[in-house]
Structures are given as structure tokens and as C-alpha cells.
Structure 1
Amino acid sequence: MAHKGKASSDVSFNLDDPAKAYTNSSAYKKITEYTAAARSIHGPDYDPRTDNIDANTVMRIGQGKKHGRYWIGDSVIDTASTPTLSQIRAQSMTASSLPTIRSWPSISQHRVDTLQAQVEEANRRAQELELGLAAEWAAWEADKLT
């Protein structure tokens, strides 16, 4: 969160901030995805800043542990009380209202998504510049005729 302040300062995550406000866009994406999934389970009042992390939701979104680590919140989730991915899959058979267990997003897919967002932003800026130049050209032509 270096763009919002020093690591030692009292800076917290805010869903209203854009991804650019945070140094790590992957972390921002994970937290927003977790929040959306947790709100679909616990209701719209769920706040990731004040409520405890739901280990079941983390396991569902992150498809278990990868290399022995949870998708997010690895240091705050109690491993002993968290069900395994196979236990969560068994629960999913009976409760269809819970979010599906997703596969791990690959690093290459994250990079592609990031590059695609950058290309879309560049295209938007180019279109704005083109419209601005067209307006200036039209104004110049109008001045030239008078």
C-alpha cells in the first residue's frame, strides 16, 4: 500500500480506492474478490477490515492451499480448525448456495489481465487525445476562415 503512505503509517485497505492506490495490484484483486465472495455468503454488511477472515471462503476462492499457504491471510488463519479442501467439496454437494471452488489463477493470466487493462487505458487516452486534436483543428479551421 505504498502509494497510500509508508508501511509503518496507519494505512488500511479501502474498497473505494482504485487499484492504482496500492503497490501490489494482485493483493488488491485478491482482497476485492474475497470481499465479494464473503459478502455473498455473510450478507452485504460484511466488512473485511473489521470482521474475521472466513477460512472456508479463502479455501473456496483459492482452491485450498498452494505450496502450504492460503490464498490470502496465511498468517491469521488457524490451520487446525480450517476444513480441508476435500471436506469443503463434500459440503458443497449439499449446499448449492455457497460459492464454487475456483482454480488458482496463474501468474501468466494475471500478467495478461494487467497488460490488457494497460492497453485499454492507453486506447482510452489515445481516443481522448484524438477528440481533443479534432476539436482544436476545427477551431483553427474556423479561425482561418474568418
Structure 2
Amino acid sequence: MAVSMAAPAEPAAPTSSPSSTMATIKLPLLTLPRYLYRVQYSRTQTVYSPHTGLHAAISSTSWGRPDALTLQRAILSHFNWNSRVPSPFISTFADAKHAAHWGHRLPGKQAVTVLKIATRKLGPQVKVFQGLGQNEIMFFHTVPPRAIAREVVPLKRFAARVLVA
């Protein structure tokens, strides 16, 4: 199957059940590219540990199962760079070059690294959504450590490999 990079489907009406809302806009794992790239930086809300993987600012089940309107608001808030509202999403890129370029655009002298995520090792419980950008894929709550194909790679070394190719 090819990767669907179209905008996410319109969420179901707010009266639908939470599980049907999630299923409406969730991407099937088999449609993902083999690898995704996470740009991790010092001021991100996402926490990374080699032992526990990646965790969004809101990554516990206490956030609940949102209805369509709540989910839509959370997605829009996630993409608002002026918002410091904790997000349940983790952004990744389907294209390594896009990830490298994006990492270089971060302000200041932050420590920036890149994680390579093997999508075939995610497991069936992982929820993945199409982001607003063509190459952006969002994870809901977490990326398990088994799916992180490589440890942290400094942005300069990562960019030198992918931008020259």
C-alpha cells in the first residue's frame, strides 16, 4: 500500500463515540513509510528515554478518549507554535531531508538530535495520524523504545548524511 499523505479525513460529528472518532482519522500502520524521523530538541514537550521511548507531554490514559471536537482542538493546538498547552501528540517526518531542514530552522543554540523510527516495529496499539504538513506524521501519546531504530544522532551529523545524498 502507498503512504497516504492527504489531509486527514474530517472527524466524525462530536456525537460519535470516541473509538469511532479515533478510527476515522487514524492512519493504518501498514500505510506508513519504513522509517520516520523525530527531531528532538531541548525545548520540546516530548520526552525521550532509550528505555521508555518517546512520550508526549500528555501521555497517560488520564487524558481520556476524546470526542471529535476535543481531538480536532488538540490537533490544531499542537500545530500552534505560540501555544504552550501540553500536547498528546509527537510529530515526526516521513522524509529524512525534511527533518534535517526543519531541525536547522529551530531558533537559538539548542541541542538538536534526530531519532530514526522503524514503523514495522510499532505494534498494533500505537495510534498514528496524518499531520498538517505533507510529510508530517503524528503519534498519539507514545512511540515504544523497540521502534527507535537508532539512538540519538546529532543534527549536524544526520544532516551531513541526508542533505548531501
TM-score, length basis structure 2: 0.23
TM-score, length basis structure 1: 0.25
Q: Which has the larger radius of gyration?
A: 1
Q: More strand by proportion, 1 or 2?
A: 2
Answer 1 or 2: higher relative contact order, Cα 8 Å, separation at least 6.
2
